[in-house]
Amino acid sequence: MLRSSNSICLDKMASLLSTGKNLASKLDRPILVSLTQPFQINADPVALFSCTKYVSEVRAFWAIPSEKSWIVGAGQAAEIRVEGPGRFQQALTKHQSLMNSAVCEDGVGPGPIFTGGFSFNTGTSVNEIWQAFSEGILTLPRWQFVSQRNHRWLTLNVMVNGHMELDSLLDDLSAQGAALLQKGGSLPNFDGALLKPSTNHWRANVEQALDAVKSRKLRKLTLARTVNVSCEKPIMPEPVLQSLIQNYPKCRIFAFCRDGSCFVGASPEELVSLRGKIVTSTCLAGSAPRGTSKNEDSRLSSWLLESEKERKEHVIVVDWISERMKKLCSQLEYDDVPHVVKLDNLQHLETHFVGVPKNANHILEFVAALHPTPAVGGIPLRPALELIELLEEHPRGWYTGPVGWIDKDGSGSFAIAIRCALLRGNEAFLYAGSGIVAGSDPDREYQETTIKFRPLLTALGIA
């Protein structure tokens, strides 16, 4: 699984832990201790992710395969849980507080990285299937593997207090490291699943949304529907991840596992990324299917660019994002006209934003400003959220919420959680939505959501 020449430098970790324990005693509160070292990983990230189950049921996966970048996390050194309207600011404050007093080895690799996400909305009803995922959870793994292009690192994160027995802790770390290093990288097989019919009242919901648009209560509303998949055996995330990586290498592939559930997906839509002094965002709104031939595909692309309805849907989101980005950026550039991005099953209108932050220096400041965009909610936002709560049969949970990662300096990347499913035991709950504006047709919007289900249905052995 991992090359035998690798070893966890516990002597160096012991020294950092001693420093952290002394600081924790002085400050009278727990302190984060983090050690990063280069690591030669002789396995693909999904196989490594599979091994993490021997350490903890709290696991995380994030990858952009085309960029050869990924994060695999196991265990829980620290956790930030937040809820309510101020959840992003709460998370930002807690993250900075932890990092400000952390004992880290300076200048070595990426350092400690939190991974996780947030629900689409706050204060809404939560059904049983989303119990493991609250309104906001950012987890710092105890064991964190990171690949960026040709560089790979292992980071070990531990929270220590002034009374901790370090010898016992080091023994635990040694045993966990041995499990990760020695376990085989075999992946579970997938036996296929059965699709259960959806009970969503789609046409009636779309017609109510169109009535709200016609009466000018709304300019746009994004409606979602769900399908349920069942299997004779528990559905494991690894085969799903393998399929998504193979078929959607340019997407942000993610999995967050906890308490017997796993939220997994392949999002084509970046909400926002912050890397040093550059911030980027992507608007993905307006869709068309892929053609069965090159000529048909080209014809559908042309239709997408020329469609008044699809361009209207796209412009609404572009205007909304640009307005909010300009407030946080001293410079902002974005495409004058959208271009078409082609995925395996769909093509979308896409606009890229690139800016220079004014005073904002933490990724969550941008997440708070941008979420939820009209691409997943609607505009005006408040009546759109009220109608979503009224019409959608199942709570969204983390579907269409921000998911991603944050490094020690507050840089990071968040995607909008679409093309996703919640795996829970023998069942999978899939979500897909469509933007409703003037001119929308219920049957065409239904077909669009059907196409959007395909990545996960294929990964589950159905489509």
Instruction: Give the residue numbers marked as catalytic.
Output: 220, 269
3-class DSSP assignment, residue 109: coil
Quick one: pLDDT at residue 4? 38
Angle (CA) 351 352 356, round 5°: 145
Mean pLDDT of 210-219: 93
d(C-alpha 238, C-alpha 188), whole Å: 7
pLDDT tens for residues 44-90? 899 999 989 988 999 999 999 999 999 999 999 999 999 999 999 99
Q: Which two tokens stand for residue 290?
A: 């892929």
Q: Is the pLDDT of residue 1 over 70?
A: no
Mean pLDDT of 266-278: 95
Total Cβ atoms within 10 A of residue 53: 17
Mean pLDDT of 97-109: 87
State the burial class of residue 6 (Cβ atoms within 10 Å of its Cβ: 0-12, 13-18, 19+).
middle
Map tokens 């997407």 to a residue: 251
| DSSP strand pairing (339-342 vs 420-424) | unpaired
Mean pLDDT of 158-168: 92
d(C-alpha 253, C-alpha 415), whole Å: 10
Q: Sign of the CA dihedral 261, 408, 68, 277?
A: positive
- What does pLDDT average to over the chain? 91
Cβ proximity of 237 and 255 under 8 Å: yes
d(C-alpha 25, C-alpha 29), whole Å: 7
Question: Dihedral (C-alpha) 209, 212, 218, 224: value to the nearest 10 degrees?
Answer: -10
Q: Is the pLDDT of residue 303 over 50?
A: yes
- Report which of 181, 157, 143, 130 is spatially closest to residue 60, judged by C-alpha positions: 143
Q: Sign of the CA dihedral 102, 366, 147, 79?
A: positive
Sequence-distant (6+) residues with CB within 8 A of 34 are 16, 102, 103, 104, 105, 111, 112, 155, 156, 157, 158, 408
Q: Which two tokens stand for residue 61?
A: 């996966």
Q: Sign of the CA dihedral 441, 308, 452, 139?
A: negative
Worst-scoring range by mean pLDDT, 58-72, 257-271, 305-319? 305-319
Q: Band of the pLDDT at 5, cuts 50, 70, 90?
A: very low
Instruction: Domains for the chain: give ranges and CATH numbers.
Output: 10-182 (no CATH), 194-459 (3.60.120.10)
